[in-house]
Amino acid sequence: MKKRILITGGTGTFGKAFVKYAIKKNDIEKVFIYSRDEMKQWNMHKNLMNQSKKIRYIIGDVRDLSRLNSVIRDNKINYIVHAAATKIVLSAELNPEECIKTNILGAMNIIEAAKSNNVNKVIALSTDKASSPINLYGSTKLASDKLFISDNNNNCGPTTFSVVRYGNVMGSRGSVIPFFLSLNKDKRFPITDTAMTRFMISIDNAIDLVFEVINTSVGGEIFVRKSPSIKITNLAKAINSKVKFDITGIRPGEKLHEQMIGIDESSYTYEFRNYFVIIPAILDKSKFSKLLKKSKKVNKNFVYSSDKNSEWLTESDFKKWLSNYLKNREILS
C-alpha cells in the first residue's frame, strides 16, 4: 500500500523541505499539509504549483481532536509526521499555557486520532532541548516524547510511535544564522557567551533521518541524528571575519551547550553509523533485536553534548554550506 502522509506544521522549515522530497518518491501517493496559517499554505502552494497533484493543503490545529480525526479518516492517512510545535524558547516562557496546549495536548490528540484511525506509523519530531530540559519548551517536548514512546506499551492496535531528536536546523526560521546575516552590515553581533556551542544539522540530513525512521522503526525508539558542533563565535566569524561581539549574557532558559543524549539515557542507547537509537526502558528489548543488529551499545557514562562532540563543523565547510544557502534561502524561509 502506498503511503498517504499527513505532516502537521507542514508549512514550517522542515515541512516545506520534507514535502519537496516526499513528492518525488514513488511509494508516496499523497502528502497532506496540516497547519493553521492559510497564507503560508497559499505561498507554499504557489511555489509548488507544478507538483500540486500529490499535495493537499488542509487548515487545522493539532489542538482540535475532532478536526484531526475527520482529516485522518476522510483522507485515509496511514503515516503521520508530527512537526507542529510552539518552539521559540522565549515565546514559550511568556505564553506557557499556549505552549502546553500545542506541545503536550496536541501530542495527546495526535496519539488518540492515530490510534482511532489505525494509522501505521507516527513519527514525532523533537529537539535537543528535550534532553535534560531547563526551559518550558524543552520540558513540553520531553513530555511529548514520553507520551509517544509510552503509548507503544499501552497500544494493542497496529499504530506505532517513534521520535526523531535533532539539534539546530541550519538556516531555519528562528535560528541564529539568518539573524546574524540580518546584522551583517553592522559588523556587530550580540553573543550571549563566547564559549557557547551548538549542534548543527542540515535540512537534508534531518529529512533523511525521518525517512529512515519511516522505513525501519519498530515503535518506541528515539532516533538521534549525529551532527557536528560549532562554536557560535566561529559561526559568526565565518559570516563576517571582521565582526565584533557584544556580550549580552545567557538568556532565561538558554544553555551554554546543548545535549541530545543524557547520561541517564546511555544505558538504553545504541550507536549506528549516522545516528543513535535510544530504546525505551519500559518495553521488551527483544522487539528491537532486528533493528539493533548493526549497532553497538554506547559506554555506560556516555553523554552526547555539543561541547564534547567528536565531530566539529569547520569554517570552510560552513562557508560552503552558507554559499549554497544564500542561493536557495527561500527553501528554508
**Per residue in 97-107, pLDDT tens?**
999 999 999 99
Q: Tell whether 152 is covered by a domain.
A: yes
Q: Would you state the pLDDT for residue 329?
A: 65
Q: Cell numbers of 116, please?
A: 482511532
Query: Can you say whether residue 265 is alpha, beta or left, with left for phi > 0 and alpha for psi between -120 and 50 degrees?
Result: alpha
Q: Would you state the pLDDT for residue 330?
A: 52
Contact 226, 276 (CB under 8 A): yes
Range of the domain at 92: 3-167+201-226+259-306
pTM above 0.85, yes or no: yes
Q: Tell whether 270 is covered by a domain.
A: yes
> Please, which residues bridge with residue 3 across strands?
28
Q: Tell whether 326 is covered by a domain.
A: no
Q: Tell whether 322 is covered by a domain.
A: no
CATH code where residue 137 lies: 3.40.50.720
Q: How far apart are CA 312 and CA 13, in angstroms?
A: 24
Rounded mean pLDDT of 303-309? Answer: 96
Q: Tell whether 180 is covered by a domain.
A: no
Count of helices and strands (H, E) across the chain: 11, 17
Rounded mean pLDDT of 197-216? Answer: 95
Q: Tell whether 27 is covered by a domain.
A: yes
Q: Would you state the pLDDT for residue 154?
A: 78
% the chain with pLDDT above 70: 98
Scanning the structure block, which residue is given the C-alpha cell 533493528?
291
Q: Tell whether 67 is covered by a domain.
A: yes
Count of domains observed in the chain: 1
Tens-digit pLDDT profile for residues 246-271:
999 988 888 999 999 999 999 999 99
Q: How far apart are CA 126 and CA 275, in angstroms?
A: 15
Q: Tell whether 182 is covered by a domain.
A: no
Tens-digit pLDDT profile for residues 25-73:
999 999 999 999 999 999 999 888 777 789 999 999 999 999 999 999 9
The set of catalytic residues is 129
Q: Is 302 helix (H, G, I), strand (E, B) or coil?
A: coil
Q: How far apart are CA 121 and CA 114, in angstroms?
A: 8
Q: Give the residue ranges of DSSP H helices in the chain.
A: 13-22, 38-47, 65-74, 89-94, 96-100, 106-116, 136-154, 176-182, 203-216, 232-239, 315-327
Round the CA-based radius of gyration of the chain to a whole number and report it.
20
Q: Would you state the pLDDT for residue 326?
A: 85
What backbone phi and psi angles, to 5 degrees, belong to 253?
80, 5
